[in-house]
Each structure stands twice: as C-alpha cells, then as structure tokens.
C-alpha cells in the first residue's frame, strides 16, 4: 500500500497542493484527473522525490532514500532525451545512471525496448522517433528498475490518435506488473486507462473512486461538484 498523507506544497503565497491524502493499492491504475493548474504535476514531482513537500508525507513502505529511488519510476510531462543516441543506447545509458552494471543495463535495455514495442526502432536515433515512440521510450526509461510505482505525467495528452492508442495499450499491459499513477486533464483518457480516479481541483482532491461510482455520486450531488469544477473536466 502506498500512502500519501496531508501532502502540501506552497510556492510563496500560492498553494499548489493542499493537504492531499490518498492511498494506492498495489497493482491498480489510478488517474489523477484535473484541469490545468490543479496541482497534478506538483503532486507527481513530490511523490517522485524531485521536489520537497512543504508538509505531509509519502509512505512507500520503504525507509531509506536509495530504496525510494528504486521503488519509483517517473516520466515527466516533457521528458528530455539525448536525440543523437539510439533508443537502445539511451536505455543503456539511463540504466547505468541508475546504478546498473553495463552488462545489466544492456540486458535490461534489450528486454524493455521489446516490451514497449520499439524493438525494430532500437538502433534508430531518437531524433527520428514519433511522439508516441518517444513516450514509449520514456516509459521504458522509467521502468528500468522495475519500480513498484510508475508515475506518468500527461503520458497521452500531446499524442496523435495512433500514438495515444499505442501508449494506452502499453499502460494496460504494464499495470499487471506495477502500480500506475498517471495524470491527465482529459476525462476520456482517465476513463479508458484507469481503475480509479482522483479528481483534483485547485490543489485538492475533490472526488475519488472508480468512474462509475463518481458519476453516480455526481448525479446525487451535482451542485457541489459542478460549482467546484470547470465544465471541461466533467
């Protein structure tokens, strides 16, 4: 069980994330759904250890810092690739940065590149990859340690329909091996890929649960939700 407790991030006077508490069951796929500025990226960056929370805690069931890095895979919204490298070279490089030996990194790179459907493009420079292929390479990068929790920031929002489909299919497969938490501002992405939704607005979770339950609750309590959220979210 991954437990987030009262997580808060302030930027000066601006509260980006406010007292966020939730639990993730292992093996689930959860969507962090909310409009721009809701606090999704800030949440994922705190959970991945990239930024420090102002207060609150994240419990992954591990205690030391090195363990935590090994338990988490994170793909930022705008990942940085060394475009002059081939996909396989890049994964070997990333594996070594993540403390794998060259031999281990090579083995992992070969397995992962096949896993994300890029075997035929393994020896091509990343500069020649489409957006969807880059995103799948990014997912392979984030999976290099077989993380317990894989977090993807807006993994499909910027993709064309084919790239989107490929990445959603990959996410569907990966949730058999890891807990997946991804952010999106598009309801249909959350609907298609997730078992559960954390609905975020203005730094807080305003609803959570499987989408069908959320819909029923909205029906019962339309006013509070609609007054909280802009129409594009629901």
Q: Least distance from C-beta 155 to ligand ATP, angstroms?
A: 12
Q: In this structure, what are the phi and psi dihedrals at residue 152, rounded to the nearest 5 degrees?
A: -125, 125
Q: By CB under 6 A, which span of 32-40, 57-65, 125-133, 134-142 interacts with ligand ATP?
A: 32-40
Query: CA-CA distance, 120 to 115, in Å (whole number)?
Result: 12
Q: Least distance from C-beta 42 to ligand ATP, angstroms?
A: 3
Contact predicate 127/83, CB 8 Å:
yes
Q: Minimal CA–CA distance to 139: which of 161, 117, 165?
A: 117
Among 2, 4, 16, 24, binds ligand ATP (CB under 6 A): 16
Query: How buried is 199 (Cβ within 10 angstroms: 0-12 exposed, 13-18 middle, 19+ buried)?
Result: buried
Number of other residues whose CB lies within 10 A of the CB of residue 223: 8
Q: Least distance from C-beta 132 to ligand ATP, angstroms?
A: 19
Residue 151 binds ligand ATP, judged by CB under 6 A: no
Residue number with CB closer to ligand ATP (4 or 109) = 4
| Stretch 38-77 residues interacting with ligand ATP (CB under 6 A) | 38-42
Q: Least distance from C-beta 117 to ligand ATP, angstroms?
A: 27
Count CA atoms closer than 13 A to 92's CA, side-chain side.
12
Q: Least distance from C-beta 114 to ligand ATP, angstroms?
A: 32
Among 108, 115, 185, 201, binds ligand ATP (CB under 6 A): 185
């Amino acid at each position: 069980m991954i437990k987030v407790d009262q997580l808060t991030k302030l930027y000066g006077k601006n509260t980006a994330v406010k007292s966020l508490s939730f639990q993730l069951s292992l093996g689930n796929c959860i969507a962090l759904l909310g409009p721009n500025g809701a606090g999704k990226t800030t949440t994922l960056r705190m959970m991945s250890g990239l930024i420090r929370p102002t207060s609150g805690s994240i419990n992954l069931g591990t205690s030391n810092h090195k363990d935590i890095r090994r338990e988490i895979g994170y793909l930022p919204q705008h990942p940085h690739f060394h475009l002059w490298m081939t996909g396989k070279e890049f994964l070997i490089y990333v594996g070594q940065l993540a403390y794998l030996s060259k031999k281990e990194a090579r083995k992992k790179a070969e397995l992962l590149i096949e896993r994300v459907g890029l075997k035929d493009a393994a020896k091509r420079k990343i500069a020649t990859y489409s957006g969807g292929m880059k995103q799948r390479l990014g997912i392979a990068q984030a999976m290099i340690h077989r993380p317990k929790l894989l977090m993807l920031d807006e993994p499909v929002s910027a993709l064309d329909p084919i790239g989107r489909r490929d990445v959603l299919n990959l996410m569907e497969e990966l949730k058999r091996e890891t807990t997946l938490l991804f952010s999106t501002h598009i309801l249909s992405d959350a609907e298609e890929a997730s078992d559960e939704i954390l609905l975020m607005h203005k730094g807080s979770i305003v609803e959570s649960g499987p989408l069908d339950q959320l819909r029923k609750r909205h029906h019962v309590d339309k006013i509070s939700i609609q007054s909280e959220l802009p129409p594009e979210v629901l």
